Amino acid sequence: MKVVNNLTHSVDGLGILKGRAAYTDDLADKNSLIVKVLRSPHAYAKIVKIDSEEALKLPGIEMVLTHKDFSRVPFTRAGQGYPEPSPHDKFVLDEYVRYVGDEVLAVVGSDLAVCEEALALIKVEYELLEPVLDFEKAIDHKSIIHPEPEAHEMFPIGFEPLRNIAASYHMHVGDVEKTLSECDVVIEETFFTQAQAHVMLEPHTVNARMDYQERLVIYNSTQTPYHMRRIISQGLNIPLSKIRVIKPRVGGGFGGKQGIHGEMLVAYVTYKTGKAAKMVYTRKEVFESSYTRHPMKMKVTLGADKSGVLKAIDFHCLSDTGAYGEHALTVFMVVGSKVLPLYNKVDSVRFYGDVVYTNHTPAGAYRGYGAIQGNFALESAVDMLCVKLGMNPIEFRQLNMMKETETSPIFEIMGEGTAGTAMIMETCKLEECVEKGMKLIDWNDKYPSKDMGNKIKSVGMAIAMQGSGIPYIDMGSATIKLNDDGFYNLLVGATDIGQGSDTVLAQIAAEVLMTTMDKIVIYSSDTDLTPFDCGAYASSTTYVSGNAVFKAANDMLEAILVEARRILKSKEVEFDGVLFTNELGETISLIDLSNEITYSEDQKQLSVTSSYVGHKSPPPFMAGFIEIDIDKETGEVDIVNYVSVVDCGTTINPKLAEGQVDGGIVQGLGMAMFENVQYSKKGALISNSLMTYKIPTRVDINNLTTVFVDSYEESGPFGAKSVGEIGIDTPPAALANAVYNALGIRIKTLPITAEKILLAIKAKERN
Amino acid sequence: MKIKMTVNNQVKIFECEPSDYLLDTLRNNNYVSVRRGCDTTNCGVCTVLMDGKPVPSCSVLTVQAEGKQITTVEGIQEEAEKIGNYFGEEGADQCGYCNPSLALTVYAMKKELVNPTIKEVKKYLVGNLCRCTGYISQERAIMKYLGDKS
Amino acid sequence: MKVSEYIKAKDLNEAYELLREDRKNYIIAGGAWLKLSVKSANKLVSLDALGLDKIVVLGDSIEIGALCTLGQIETNELIKQLYDGILVQAVSSIMGVNIRNIATIGGCVMGKFSFSDIFPVLEVMDTTLVFHKQGEVSLMDFLNNPKFEKDILVKIKIKNNLGKGFFKKVAITALDFSVINIACSKTDGLFSLSVGSTPYIASPCYKAMDYINCLSDINLESIKECANKVVEEIKFSSNNRASKEYREELAKVYISRGIKQVSNYEN
Ligand SMILES: Cc1cc2nc3c(=O)[nH]c(=O)nc-3n(C[C@H](O)[C@H](O)[C@H](O)COP(=O)(O)OP(=O)(O)OC[C@H]3O[C@@H](n4cnc5c(N)ncnc54)[C@H](O)[C@@H]3O)c2cc1C
Ligand code: FES
Ligand code: FES
């Protein structure tokens, strides 16, 4: 391979670093009206009266939008395929506000200052309702968060709004209780994870204008331009054909930009007034009024026999979806479906529980998507079981974990929102990942810990898996067209949000077409120009969209060969990417061929479009190892190194793949150690700025060692699986395990802060 | 009011209000490489050079920049190209939102620190947050750039 | 921040008059904290034209102009030497270089931040403040008295003593406020101890100092006792960053480590 799996600079990094206009707000119309939302100060209230008379008198104020301006069409902002597995429980604006930060109304004015002045003049009367702030008490709480009759599910997801249940699920294989009763060693433990924030550095933003065909053009920092177009069309009753969504460069998404934010309001304003409009979230709005990771409570029961064979897993999960049910069921299911198959040799397994509504910031899609929560619980529990068994945790995993050519019944039972797809692990190099990681971290020397005076050094590890798209649901497609002068346009609906998919997809096309990267001009995504793609989520882009590009490139190859055979008047033509040669040794270059078919003879535009739907979702696997130094007197933790050994199939772009893992690890470490989510007693988010919500800085991260094992997934483009999410899964459990290995202290609630560690040390000393 | 300053070696007179911050003045005048990431002076995305030193433009009033030399990444294109190529080599560019401001800070650091260690580099750049890369690849690229004496 | 007018004062008198004129007039130094703390200002009075951005040695003191940025201070060779460079350590622990290039020492002092990393260090050195109207006052006078709030800080004077110093900031990430911060110094055989961000503004630990400075010799036992006295004497509380209990533990540990370090104590 010449381009794939070789060092290739990203196609866009240089221009972006040099400061070219690239992001949504860089492209906003300078005269845009500003749309600014008044946000609820109350966790749960009914709007009784809105008095905006004074505000409307301000020069520059165009309009004030309230729930009365919108028809009562419930939708979901989740940004998923149709029909969505998320409940339709949101109105553009509603007479109820369901969390601090929820939309009360919107003012539209000529600049931000006048909008802010207007917001201060508007008087809103609320009838306060009792909020549900403790997710463990949400079910059958006397406050019902979605009493409105319009809210509904699109197909059965266990939606019971009158009980504050957004979704529920149950699956089992075998008889867990019976198996557990026969086990020699059983542990039962409960774990908690927090509502991590995405903190993509570009805040959510959208702007819109009407074009000269009187169509609505929306520039949107989104992961899902096609879903966006559909949802806006449905929500505002604008014909789909009248809407064009352009996704410029996106400044990070991590799942947070899969869902809808200000799109409905901005689209409405422009469509209604004919004037350009825009909205840029403040960082506070990003924290309070977008989405978070679903906080969860997970009770894990594991049973094994004396020899260390894991026999049963019983996993109960309670998930908090906040005020609206975006991704409620699907994130919940991934807690099980992309975690439990790691231990596929059990006799029985059960996974069940509920996703509940509370009056907190809604939860939504976030890299890891349930797998990080489930991984923390299961991989912590496994180490705890090992302590009880008196067994080395690595040996336990080597004995019990998934291996190549094996399968798990869970694949068939659990999909995302629906039943799943049976599959055999054609590639699973977990054993090699574990072995290699042990060497790189020097496990045998450092495990479990080493006393160094004030500090103690220790190591901990966890294994993980993810998926590669959603089989039979996620579709990607690609159009390739040949230009005169012999270069290609590659048009994809796949959404580059910084993960490098434009580069990776161009590499796939270049490899198939035997050309160099400068001959492939990639463009993503514009619903008028690029073919459909479900968008950037579920680790689908490289595998699903990559396969579409692979197919399209092969179709293009075939198409240019047809032309070459015609021109060279021969049935046997060979092509090396530059030159076509027939059996007589006559040649024509691609440049000449392209010029000829463009200008001279039998002129035509060569263009092909291909699509791909996955029929399975081959999981990438990894083993993560952390080395830490803990100050025994203060609990402070230094992360010395994090070793990741990853099986993601072929790395189309090894450096970008490494970047995906590194970035995931550091976000995972953020969740594991630093990112503390705090609410006030009244349910307001206290950690609502970068001053109060601390993400890892470069000083907090000393070193990352990321390597890939050789692996080739037949079904993937050039052997690739996905790599976008897998990196985030292991840090919480690896850290928890390392802290235990150092101090014999088990922290089961994230984040694992120095304070929790020290207070646990003190409590242990007292006992 | 009218405020005069030099932006990327060009004398500019901006019409602004006393409440305007340099970030917004620059963006409104089409220096779109300068971007906002937070409201609390925590992220570093808005960093520009003022008289050669990195400053958060979200927290400098436009009037405070009167008479100063302001440099955005558009003003250091050659060095940015070098930095960008090292970033490309290391796969250190992801969403890129942090990159123009990081490049400016790295450029200033190269002038200020002599043969810094990786620890010193981390400390110097700590105010430039990145949520995508995990930092390490950026730092590999930056160390290479610091070693590039061309 | 909404601002009606920005005025570059021509001299300190003018600045002073403008400051006193209206409750909503403010001195602006770097403006970094003003941006976060003031919603609307009438006049912002800049001291930029007054040459208050110099660091000089005069007599037995180092004088730091109120408008010196934190960046200037951390790169100053004299200050790097002072008490093993604790002021440089404290200053360089604050945010990133970009903020430190605008934030001034005057703003840090006048802000009287409870989380301040500067005060513990200033408290364990021999520090005085020079105001435009009220002249030279001791640091503790300033901290205990609100009457300086409507005066203009001109400079900070630190005795150029030879002494050992220790500073520790405990923070959740390298870009956060302190969970706690601690400074210790030893000059002419006498210890000076201060704890800040408790979460209240830094305070010298008088009783602990009295105790340890009366001993002829220190040992592990007396260091521990001294650390306990710090926790007895200083008020600690919980906030979003840490609990009272955790702060107390940290204070004990780092006071002990500080004492050991400034006295070259080895067990
Ligand atoms: C995001 C952020 C994080 C920070 N983190 C820390 C931290 O971890 N530790 C820490 O110690 N500090 C921290 N600070 C504070 C910082 O160090 C500065 O102290 C702060 O920015 C004030 O400096 P300034 O020059 O910007 O002051 P300004 O904002 O200009 O002024 C601050 C106040 O002081 C007054 N003032 C300024 N100069 C004078 C003068 N000469 N005479 C009279 N009054 C005056 C002003 O009127 C104003 O009330 C942080 C600041 C920010 C913005
Ligand atoms: S925008 Fe975040 S520091 Fe300026
Ligand atoms: S590359 Fe996205 S924030 Fe740095």
Three-state secondary structure along chain B?
Answer: CEEEEEECCEEEEEECCCCCEHHHHHHHCCCCCCCCCCCCCCCCCCEEEECCEEEEHHHCEHHHHCCCEEECHHHHHHHHHHHHHHHHHHCCCCCCCCHHHHHHHHHHHHHHCCCCCHHHHHHHHCCCCCCCCCCHHHHHHHHHHHHCCC
CB-based contact, B88 to chain A, within 8 Å:
yes
Residues of B in Cβ contact (< 8 Å) with A705: none
Residue of B50, B59, B60, B135 to mutate, interface with C, max C Cβ within 10 Å: B59
Hey, are the CB atoms on A755 and C242 less than 8 Å from each other?
Answer: yes
CATH number at residue B96: 1.10.150.120
Q: Name the band, by pLDDT with cuts 50, 70 and 90, for residue C267.
A: low
How many whole angstroms from C8 Cα to the centroid of ligand 1? 19
**Per-residue pLDDT reduced to its tens digit, A650-686:** 999 999 999 999 999 999 999 999 999 999 999 999 9
How many whole angstroms from C154 Cα to the centroid of ligand 2? 29
Helices (H), A132-186: 176-182
Question: In 3-state terms, what secondary structure has residue A644?
Answer: strand
- Average pLDDT rounded to a whole number, residues A423-441: 97
Residue A140 burial (C-beta neighbours within 10 Å; 0-12, 13-18, 19+) = exposed
Question: In 3-state terms, what secondary structure has residue C45?
Answer: strand
Give CA–CA dist C76/A457, Å, rounded: 37
* Predicted local confidence at residue A1, as pLDDT: 84
Q: Name the band, by pLDDT with cuts 50, 70 and 90, for residue A180.
A: very high
The secondary element (H helix, E strand) that includes residue C16 is helix C12-21
DSSP C227-265: HHHHHHHS-----SS--HHHHHHHHHHHHHHHHHHHTT-
Question: In 3-state terms, what secondary structure has residue A192?
Answer: strand
CB C60 within 8 A of CB C160: yes
Question: In 3-state terms, what secondary structure has residue A697?
Answer: coil
* Residue A140 identity (one-letter amino acid): D
CB C171 within 8 A of CB C178: yes
Domain boundaries along the sequence of chain C: 2-50, 55-106+119-159, 166-262
Indicate the average pLDDT of chain A: 97
**Pairs of residues, one from chain B and one from chain C, whose beta carbons lie less than 8 Å apart:** 77
- Report the residue from B17, B55, B109 with minimal CB separation from C102: B55
Task: Tell me the two tokens of residue B48.
Answer: 């520009």
| The CATH number of domain C55-106+119-159 is 3.20.20.70 | no
Examine the domain organization and report whether B91 and B59 are in the same domain: no
Regions in chain B scoring below 70 on pLDDT? none
- Using N-to-C axis directions, what is the helix angle for B136-147 and A654-669, rounded to 10°? 120
Give CA–CA dist A599/A560, Å, rounded: 16
CB A87 within 8 A of CB A66: no
The secondary element (H helix, E strand) that includes residue A379 is helix A371-389
Q: Phi and psi at residue A276, in whole multiples of 5°?
A: -65, 145
Examine the domain organization and report whether B124 and B141 are in the same domain: yes
Give CA–CA dist C252/A406, Å, rounded: 55
CB A312 within 8 A of CB A179: yes
Query: Which has the closest alpha carbon to A662: B93, B84, B136?
Result: B136
Superfamily of domain A15-129+204-280: Aldehyde oxidase/xanthine dehydrogenase, a/b hammerhead (3.90.1170.50)
- Report the residue from C36, C92, C101 with minimal CB separation from B41: C36
Give CA–CA dist A620/A413, Å, rounded: 19
Domain that holds residue B61: 2-74
CA distance to A3, A578, A597, per residue, from A590 (Å) = 19, 5, 10
Give CA–CA dist A360/A492, Å, rounded: 37
* Predicted local confidence at residue A193, as pLDDT: 98
Residues A350-380 as b or e (16 or more Cβ within 10 Å = b)? bbebbbbbbbbbbbbbbbbbbbbbbbbbbbb
CB-based contact, B94 to chain A, within 8 Å:
yes
Distance of CA C142 to the CA centre of its chain: 12
Nearest atom, ligand 1, residue C177 CA: 8
Give CA–CA dist B2/B41, Å, rounded: 26
* Predicted local confidence at residue B150, as pLDDT: 84
Examine the domain organization and report whether B107 and B125 are in the same domain: yes
CB B50 within 8 A of CB B27: no
- Average pLDDT rounded to a whole number, residues C67-71: 98
Chains that touch A (3 or more CB pairs under 8 A): B, C
* Residue A339 identity (one-letter amino acid): V
Nearest atom, ligand 1, residue C176 CA: 8
Put simply, the chain A residues between 656 and 675 with a CB less than 8 A from any chain C CB are 674
Task: Tell me the two tokens of residue A564.
Answer: 């070459």
**Per-residue pLDDT reduced to its tens digit, A33-47:** 999 999 999 999 999
* Predicted local confidence at residue A416, as pLDDT: 83
**Do the domains C55-106+119-159 and C166-262 sit in the same CATH topology, yes or no?**
no
Q: Which residues contact A57 (CB under 8 A, 6 or more apart)?
A: none
Put simply, the chain B residues between 69 and 108 with a CB less than 8 A from any chain C CB are 105, 108
Hey, are the CB atoms on B60 and C44 less than 8 Å from each other?
Answer: no
Domain count, chain B: 2
Rounded to 10 degrees, the C-alpha dihedral A249/A252/A254/A258 comes to -40
**Per-residue pLDDT reduced to its tens digit, A562-602:** 999 999 999 999 999 999 999 999 999 999 999 999 999 88
Give CA–CA dist A349/A302, Å, rounded: 9
The residue among B74, B95, B111 that closes a domain is B74
Give CA–CA dist A513/A740, Å, rounded: 53
**Per-residue pLDDT reduced to its tens digit, B96-126:** 999 999 999 999 999 999 999 999 999 999 9
Per CATH, the number for A473-613 is 3.30.365.10
Percent of chain A residues topping a pLDDT of 90: 97
CB C242 within 8 A of CB C165: no
Examine the domain organization and report whether B80 and B69 are in the same domain: no
Give CA–CA dist C70/C94, Å, rounded: 9
Give CA–CA dist C124/C116, Å, rounded: 14
Examine the domain organization and report whether B81 and B142 are in the same domain: yes
Residues of B in Cβ contact (< 8 Å) with A655: 89-91, 137
| Direct distance between the N- and C-terminal alpha carbons of chain A, in angstroms, rounded to an integer | 62
Q: Which residue has the tokens 């110099």?
A: C54
Task: Tell me the two tokens of residue A365.
Answer: 């899609």
Examine the domain organization and report whether B106 and B139 are in the same domain: yes
- Report the residue from B55, B61, B125 with minimal CB separation from C101: B55
Spatial strand order in the sheet of A96-97: A96-97, A45-51, A123-128
Q: Name the band, by pLDDT with cuts 50, 70 and 90, for residue C222.
A: very high
* Predicted local confidence at residue B113, as pLDDT: 97
Examine the domain organization and report whether B13 and B36 are in the same domain: yes
Q: What is the architecture of the domain spanning A296-469+616-766?
A: 2-Layer Sandwich (3.30)
Residues of C in Cβ contact (< 8 Å) with A676: 172
**Residue B95 to chain C, least CA–CA distance (Å):** 22
- Using N-to-C axis directions, what is the helix angle for B136-147 and B118-125, rounded to 10°? 110
CB C182 within 8 A of CB C93: no
Residue C243 burial (C-beta neighbours within 10 Å; 0-12, 13-18, 19+) = middle
Hey, are the CB atoms on C98 and B54 less than 8 Å from each other?
Answer: yes
Examine the domain organization and report whether B30 and B60 are in the same domain: yes
Task: Tell me the two tokens of residue A216.
Answer: 């609505």
CB C160 within 8 A of CB C235: no
CB B56 within 8 A of CB C98: yes
The secondary element (H helix, E strand) that includes residue A731 is helix A731-743
Examine the domain organization and report whether B59 and B92 are in the same domain: no
B42 lines ligand 2 (CB under 6 A): yes
* Predicted local confidence at residue A539, as pLDDT: 76
CB B35 within 8 A of CB B96: no
Give CA–CA dist A444/A447, Å, rounded: 6
DSSP A514-529: T--GGGEEEE--BTTT
Give CA–CA dist C262/C223, Å, rounded: 12
Per CATH, the number for C166-262 is 3.30.390.50
CB A123 within 8 A of CB A51: yes
DSSP secondary-structure letter at A725?
A: T
How many whole angstroms from C167 Cα to the centroid of ligand 1? 20
For β-strands A488-492 and A520-523, DSSP reports them as parallel
CATH class of the domain whose range is C2-50: alpha beta
* Predicted local confidence at residue C162, as pLDDT: 87
The secondary element (H helix, E strand) that includes residue A169 is strand A165-173
| Nearest ligand to the CA atom of C176 | 1
**Per-residue pLDDT reduced to its tens digit, A500-532:** 999 999 999 999 999 999 999 999 999 999 999
Phi-psi region of A67 (alpha: psi -120 to 50; beta: other; left: phi over 0): alpha
Domain(s) labelled CATH 3.90.1170.50 in chain A stretch across 15-129+204-280
C46, C104, C197: residue to mutate for ligand 1 pocket, most atoms within 8 A of CB: C104
0.95 surpassed by pTM = yes
Quote ipTM for the complex.
0.98
Query: Which has the closest alpha carbon to A340: A237, A414, A422?
Result: A414
DSSP C112-175: T-TT-SHHHHHHTS-EEEEETTTEEEEHHHHHH-GGGTTS-EEEEEEE----EEEEEEE-SSTT
* Residue A562 identity (one-letter amino acid): V
Task: Tell me the two tokens of residue C225.
Answer: 């006792």
Domain(s) labelled CATH 3.30.365.10 in chain A stretch across 296-469+616-766, 473-613
